[in-house]
A and B are shown apart, each in its own frame.
Chain A
Amino acid sequence: KAGVTQTPRYLIKTRGQQVTLSCSPISGHRSVSWYQQTPGQGLQFLFEYFSETQRNKGNFPGRFSGRQFSNSRSEMNVSTLELGDSALYLCASSLAGVWEQYFGPGTRLTVT
């Protein structure tokens, strides 16, 4: 079975721009979660989608949004980028919920 894939792997953006990251879950997995990982804060939960609906949301500003498509693929969008948004963004899929997550390799976002 193919693993979770994320595109792009690396991205450099300028402050004020917006960015869209993509995630393809493991075949058959309907839950997709997004996390932000930074050296200072560690791994922080952004949101979870299940069957195209946002089911859980972490404590992040509204600039961070996401969506899930009928084939379970997911995208997350960050608008009006700030320097502090520089991080590794990880997508994880699971069969039905946030337990036992299977992570992708992440997208390294650098905001200059």
Chain B
Amino acid sequence: TQLLEQSPQFLSIQEGENLTVYCNSSSVFSSLQWYRQEPGEGPVLLVTVVTGGEVKKLKRLTFQFGDARKDSSLHITAAQPGDTGLYLCAGGSQGNLIFGKGTKLSVKP
């Protein structure tokens, strides 16, 4: 069974701080996606990474796919209260998307 482990589970920081969340697996994924989910809403796709070692930037968010395509990280620079939410990684495998359980981020003003 393929699993995606996300860490940390919870993160509470002050506005302006930097943070990194991780998504790890023992399995290789053909692609990996990051989503953000706010309370009462469905997840919103942030980025898809496909190539091992790939780095993508989305304003203050930097996403990296591991060389072996088994892990990924999301780094947020100068976090803002609007970044608060549940961050989910999802791996593509055999026609399914497998989701990690997420990192719940709270950014306090």
Contacts and interface: CB of A to CB of B under 8 A. Distances in A.
Interface string A23-64: 000000000010100000111110010000001101000000
Interface residues of B, number: 22
A109 B31 CA distance: 31
Interface stretch (A11-19, A76-84, A92-100): A92-100
Interface of A is mostly: strand
B97 A45 contact: yes
B42 A98 contact: no
Given A100-B45, A102-B45, A42 B102 contact: yes
B40 A105 contact: yes
A103 B48 contact: no
Contacts of A33: 97
B99 interface: yes
Interface of B: 31, 33, 35, 40-45, 48, 88, 90, 92, 94-102
Given A43-B90, A103-B43, 15 more contacts: A4-B42, A33-B97, A35-B99, A42-B101, A42-B102, A43-B88, A45-B97, A45-B99, A48-B95, A55-B95, A92-B42, A98-B96, A99-B31, A99-B92, A105-B41
A45 to B, nearest CB: 5
Nearest to B101: A42
A7 to B, nearest CB: 14
Contacts of A41: 101
Most chain A beta carbons < 10 A, residue from B40, B41, B42, B45: B42
Contact of A101 (B97, B100, B101): B97
Contacts of B33: 99-100
A66 interface: no
A90 interface: yes
A45 B98 contact: yes
